[in-house]
Structure 1
Amino acid sequence: MREESTLIKQILDFAQEESSVRAVALNGSRVNPNVIRDIMQDYDVTFFIRNFEDISYKTNPNWIKRFGELIIFQQNDFKDGSYVFLMQFKEGVRIDLSFKNVMKVDEVIKEDSLTKILLDKDNIIPALPLPNDYTYYVKKPAQKEYDTLMNEAWWIQTYIAKAIWRDELPLAKYMFDVILIDCIRTILSWYIGINYDWNINVGKCGKWFKRFLPESIYNEFITLYPTIDYDEMWHTLFEADKFIRKIGSVVAEKLGYTYPMNDDMNVTEYLKTVQALPQNAAEFCPTKELNEIYVENVEKLFE
């Protein structure tokens, strides 16, 4: 695998030879002082080009061969006309190379605090502060954002319950593994944000949770990914409820918001009802025993 200095030189040599490329920036983990270096790090590079209407880089991508032998690449377009090549090379190097309009360079570089200018042919880019990840910090939610997220966290569980009851595993897994877990990740991000005074980047999809959460909470979180066994899914769903209740209540208290206790109680009752329904049930009706158990234990939900 090529060393970073070698690859950066190749990128800059190419940019110097291309008259349309006026500036080059390096973004992402390669310039983030808080990231632990490893061999899987991408090179996030931006070429700022003039004659932006010229799309020859897209129509004739033979230029990629200069950077190595590809395994696969993907080319994506953005609404503003910019585009990116995501390139995975056989030796392990990955380059995500974006092409953006040089006329918008001032606007673009302000969007990402993890930016280091490698080349500026026309001296048009003002001096930048040292790269840092403040634009990626967890943002403190407003009351409405908190309420909306918590509502989603409880609402989506009704889908999970119905999908389990109907034996619709793909739907149950998607709603649990993707939608519900994403809600929980957001709540955890806020929890971490509070503890770090909102000066913290938890990484894409919470990939750095292990660094910033107490070990006990992190271990609780990672047990919330269920298997394909329905009994285990029900068990994990109720464990997820406890976790949402615990972390969501702390976040609400710290922010001065109100935890949605009624949603919690009502959905928990609904889940228990669906769990107890026979597969051939002709009507939706909680059993007497279930109601008695629920009433007896409802206070324990918030212990």
Structure 2
Amino acid sequence: MRKENQVIKQILDFACNEEKVRAVMINGSRVNSNAPKDIMQDYDIVFFITNIDDVSYKINQDWVNVFGELVIMQQNDFEDGSYIFLMQFKDGVRIDLGFKDINRIEEMTKEDTLSKILLDKDNIGLKLPLPNDSIHYVKKPTEKEFNEILNEAWWIQTYVAKAIWRDELPLAKYMFDVVLIDCIREILSWHIGEMYNWKINVGKCGKWFKGLLPEEIFNELVSIYPTVDYEEMWQSLFEAGKFIRKIGKELAEKLGYNYPIQDDINVTEYIQKIKILPRDATDFY
């Protein structure tokens, strides 16, 4: 596997030989001193080019071979005319290489505090602060945002319960594993944000929860993730409710908001009824 200095050299050598590329920026975890370092880290690179309407890099993609032998690649376009190549190479190196208009370089460096200029052919001389992840800090929720997520966290449990009762596994799994877990992740992010005075980055999808949460709470979170066994899913659903109640009430008190206790009571009673409802029932009662 190529070392970081080798990959950066390949990137800069290529950029130096391309007249259209005027500047190179790296951002993301490679310049985040708080991010765990391992061999799976991507290289998030931006090439700032003279004419973003020039699609030659998209039409003839032979240039990609300069960076290694591909496992797979994905190319995406954006509304502002910029585009990106997501490239996974066989030696384990992954490079996400974006192409953006050189006229947007100052704007782009302000958008992401995890940015570092590697090459500046025209001596633009942008003054950037040391890379930091402050832009990714958990933001304190407004009362409206708090209420909406807590409402969704309880509301979606009725969907999960109904799908289990109907033996609609794909729907039950989606509502639980995606929608409900997303709500729990958001609540936990706020919980951690409050713990660190809103100066903490929990990582994409809460990937750094394990190192930021007390072991007991993290283990409770892990225990919520269900299997495809319906009995285990029911148990996980009720455990999820307890978890939301525990974290949500504590967070509401610290933020000075109201925890939706009536939604909690009503939904818990409702899904308990569904759990014992015979599969061939013709009446809810």
TM-score by length of 1: 0.93
Query: Which residue of structure 2 lines up, in the alignment, with residue 200 of structure 1?
Result: 200
Query: Which residue of structure 1 lines up, in the alignment, with residue 59 of structure 2?
Result: 59
Runs of 4+ in structure 1 off by over 3 angstroms are none
Is there any run of 5+ residues in structure 2 with no aligned partner, and where?
none
For residue 261 of structure 2, what is the amino acid of its counterpart? M
Mapping for residues 179-194 of structure 1, pairs under 5 Å: 179-194=179-194
Query: Which residue of structure 1 lines up, in the alignment, with residue 216 of structure 2?
Result: 216
CA distance in 2, matches of 1:80, 1:156: 36
CA distance in 1, matches of 2:51, 2:182: 41
Superposed displacement of residue 219, structure 1:
0.4
Query: Which residue of structure 1 lines up, in the alignment, with residue 279 of structure 2?
Result: 279
Superposed displacement of residue 82, structure 1:
0.9
Query: Which residue of structure 1 lines up, in the alignment, with residue 175 of structure 2?
Result: 175
Cα offsets for 1:115-167 (capped at 9, x unmatched)? 01000111224210111100110010000000010111011111101000000
Check if 1:153 corresponds to 2:153. yes
Query: Which residue of structure 2 lines up, in the alignment, with residue 246 of structure 1?
Result: 246
The answer (yes or no) to whether the contact 1:154–1:264 under 8 Å persists in 2 is: yes
Is there any run of 5+ residues in structure 1 with no aligned partner, and where?
286-303
The answer (yes or no) to whether the contact 1:160–1:176 under 8 Å persists in 2 is: yes
Mapping for residues 5-84 of structure 1, pairs under 5 Å: 5-84=5-84
The answer (yes or no) to whether the contact 1:106–1:125 under 8 Å persists in 2 is: no
Cα offsets for 1:84-115 (capped at 9, x unmatched)? 10001111110000001111111111111110
Mapping for residues 284-299 of structure 1, pairs under 5 Å: 284-285=284-285
CA distance in 1, matches of 2:79, 2:53: 14
Cα RMSD (Å): 0.7
CA distance in 1, matches of 2:51, 2:9: 24
CA distance in 2, matches of 1:206, 1:198: 15
Mapping for residues 101-112 of structure 1, pairs under 5 Å: 101-112=101-112
Query: Which residue of structure 1 lines up, in the alignment, with residue 262 of structure 2?
Result: 262
Q: Find the residue that maps to 2:87 and give its secondary structure.
A: strand
Q: Find the residue that maps to 1:66 and give its secondary structure.
A: helix
CA distance in 2, matches of 1:52, 1:79: 12
Identity %: 67
CA distance in 2, matches of 1:35, 1:235: 35
TM-score by length of 2: 0.99
Query: Which residue of structure 2 lines up, in the alignment, with residue 301 of structure 1?
Result: none
Q: Find the residue that maps to 1:217 and give its secondary structure.
A: helix
Cα offsets for 1:166-206 (capped at 9, x unmatched)? 00001001110111001001000000000000000000110
CA distance in 2, matches of 1:244, 1:78: 37
Query: Which residue of structure 2 lines up, in the alignment, with residue 225 of structure 1?
Result: 225
Query: Which residue of structure 2 lines up, in the alignment, with residue 122 of structure 1?
Result: 122
CA distance in 2, matches of 1:276, 1:36: 46
Cα offsets for 1:17-37 (capped at 9, x unmatched)? 111111100111110101221
The number of residues matched between the two structures is: 285
For residue 206 of structure 1, what is the amino acid of its counterpart? G
Query: Which residue of structure 1 lines up, in the alignment, with residue 135 of structure 2?
Result: 135
CA distance in 2, matches of 1:277, 1:214: 38
Q: Find the residue that maps to 1:223 and give its secondary structure.
A: helix
